[in-house]
Amino acid sequence: MSDFTDNLKPRHDGAATLTAERNGSLISSDELSKHLLSRDGFLPRQARIVEILEKEKLFSKNQQLNLSRPERYHLGLARAKALRRMVEKHGWDHEDYRMAEYLTDEMSPFHLQMTMFATTVREQASEEQKAYWMPKILDWSIIGCYAQSELGHGSNVKGLETQAKWDPKAKEFVLHSPYLTASKWWNGAMGRTATHAIVVAQLLLPGKDNPAQFTSYGPQPFIVQIRDLKTHQPLPGIIVGDIGPKYGYASMDNGYMLFDQFRIPHSAMLSRYAEVNNETGAFTKRGHHAVLYGSLTFVRAQIIMHARLILARAVTVAVRYTAIRRQFRNRDSKDESEPEMAILDYPTVQIRILPLLATTFALHYTGEMMYDLYSRTRQSIEKGDFSAIAELHSASSGLKSLCTTLAADGIETCRRAMGGHGFGGGSGLVGINADYLSKPTVEGDNWMITQQVAAYLIKKMTAAVENPDAPPADALDELFQMYLRDSGRRLPQNVVHGSEVDDEAIVDVFQWRAADLSYRAYQSRIIEKKSWNSLLIQLHKLSRAYSEQILITNFHAALTNPASTSTLSPTTHSVLRSCFRLYALFTMDNEARSFSSTNAVCTDSLDVLPDTILALMAEIRPHAVKLVDSWAIPDYLLDSALGRYDGKVYEKLFDMAHRQNPLNQVTFNRDWRSEEIVLGSGDGGKPILSKL
């Protein structure tokens, strides 16, 4: 298929541009990569696994955007099974397997097996149940899913409608769906893949006096076989299937499931924490879900660490492409022969991308802090002592909300900053955007869960007001006590002196604002006794301000901690400090009135924020390509013509269009009088009609 385009080159050489960008910065991206990505041997593991995946045809992403949704599930299942075989073949450990899933970059139908399914059995099953189920799970002879959400209920778990009635005569539970809205819904891997499910259902026990009257003991987990192990057909009394196409998650079979008086044995109820006595039918609860509390913090830390890599991926594409893309000469230039400007040199492009680049680091240091604290206090957590991470656990709701919102919005901001090609498949952002848009909703809706952190802050502020001199149990107590001492004589602070940014003042004003908003919430709820619902918007803003303060505090602490930064060269350290300032001042500028109305920052400082931000962006700009290189996203994962490491943007875009697009293999009949679609086929338009 040789033709005259074979010898054409782009007018400007993207590869040379990126080389010049890299030569223009003294940052060592290797050094910074190691600083950012050394936990659990991330970098060598990534290098080892990506080399294997890249060679497998099944893992090629070239045609993914041309597949239909049903085909994407076929592919997802094929890849899930192949990955399992690769575990055996290459002797991968669990982290290797997770890395392979991460690099494959789609929600796998096997994803729930070792996460929600295995974790629930491990944490909530009795020892006897574990002994029975874990081996089957670990050799993958059964495939599991986790069936909690229903058509009518997601966030409000207590409102689930699926019933599990105890039949004392048969010593069985009867699973039943009394309403259409009781249908299990959204549960991953359930639609077409799973053989078993953890079904969360309202436990209903018959009354002692009146056995026809049932009392609910709340939602409880049951482990249930849902499909025949040979025929893979649903068992009688079960209706189960895939819910159909969604925004993203094309490769995953999110499912629905209903029960018609479906009987399961007594042993199906996971009974580490709650049990129905087989003989008496009495309900016993034991212990707290203490471990869950700790592992939720760990999961939230993972969400933040994942968010930073997602955002880093979008920013990598945007920085590399906008460094290469040229459009318009400098409007003030008189020189007609001057080349067009790289669009990353326009402040209107910088203001969209560089603060997000800075945000990747902000997320990083808080994620690291959460991991560290969790590992350091793991033993006390196992024993049910959460004093060390109590605040963090509470804050984790606010952080989940803030960080996934920043990442989800950031992908789209990067995409739009890339103009026309940002809308094309070559951006590499189509799939990541569609999939990641789930995150602001799943694992706690980003608006709803901010109530949890606000409630905690009100409780802590109430305690601080009532006992202003009590010995502080944690940093939050200290902050609130300081706030209560100083609020009468607080002067709004300067964060910029002349052209000097004051890092300590930045930390102070973010903390002060969070404390002030906490006090206002306390005032409204506890003193003025306003209704909870009337405060929801205020509480959401409080949670966000508090979470921003955490990101700021941890970012600053990391930059001033010699242990954390000893491996960094002075240049790198200095650029990271500019990123800290940019993230902080950009956030402050966007919410400027919140910083003035809380007496945190003085008007003079707020007035100079736009110019200070411009200056910080100019400082960071020469290092932008090296900074994104440091996130070490492999081309295989980026899957982006615009974001390629080598800068061959236009060559790749053209290759995708001209040599890889299957639509170009077909010649069409454009005559409106004819029903034929493929020219000369005589199809009469029937093939496409038959798919509707």
CA distance 482 to 472: 10
Which CB sits closer to a copy of itself, 244 or 384?
244
Q: Which amino acid is residue 437, in one-letter code?
A: L
The helix/strand/coil state of 234 is strand
Residue 188 labeled ligand binder: yes
Query: Could you tell me how many residues make up the chain?
Result: 692
Burial class, 263, CB count within 10 angstroms (exposed 0-12 / middle 13-18 / buried 19+): middle
Q: Residue 137 CB, nearest distance to a copy of itself (Å)?
A: 13
The helix/strand/coil state of 255 is strand
Which CB sits closer to a copy of itself, 471 or 662?
662
Q: Residue 60 CB, nearest distance to a copy of itself (Å)?
A: 5
Tokens of 686: 């029937």
Residue 444, C-beta contacts closer than 8 angstroms, at least 6 positions apart: 155, 397, 400, 401
Q: Residue 572 CB, nearest distance to a copy of itself (Å)?
A: 27
How far is residue 104 CA from its own chain's centroid? 16
Determine contact, residues 412/418, Cβ cutoff 8 Å. no
CA distance 212 to 200: 23
Which CB sits closer to a copy of itself, 157 or 473?
157
Q: Residue 218 CB, nearest distance to a copy of itself (Å)?
A: 13
CA distance 137 to 223: 12
CA distance 637 to 609: 36
Q: Residue 554 CB, nearest distance to a copy of itself (Å)?
A: 27
Which CB sits closer to a copy of itself, 36 or 601?
601
Q: How many of the other CB atoms lie within 10 Å of CB of 78? A: 14
The helix/strand/coil state of 332 is coil
**Which of these is catalytic: 275, 443, 591, 619?**
443
Residue 408, C-beta contacts closer than 8 angstroms, at least 6 positions apart: 436, 437, 439, 440
Instruction: Please give the angle made by the CA atoms of 324, 330 and 334, to the nearest 5 degrees.
Output: 140
Q: Residue 624 CB, nearest distance to a copy of itself (Å)?
A: 17
Among candidates 143, 391, 166, which has minimal Cα distance to 278?
166
CA distance 610 to 628: 24
CA distance 380 to 501: 40
Cα distances (angstroms) measured from residue 108 to each of 34, 289, 447, 678: 29, 29, 27, 35
Which CB sits closer to a copy of itself, 366 or 427?
427
Which CB sits closer to a copy of itself, 281 or 610?
610
Tokens of 541: 């803003």
Which CB sits closer to a copy of itself, 68 or 280?
68
Q: Residue 173 CB, nearest distance to a copy of itself (Å)?
A: 18
CA distance 255 to 189: 7
Cα distances (angstroms) measured from residue 317 to each of 8, 84, 410, 645: 24, 31, 12, 9
Which CB sits closer to a copy of itself, 571 or 596?
596
Q: Residue 121 CB, nearest distance to a copy of itself (Å)?
A: 18
Residue 275 falls in the annotated catalytic set: no
CA distance 137 to 143: 7
Annotated binding site for FAD: 188
Residues with a known catalytic role: 443
Which residues belong to the annotated binding site?
A: 188
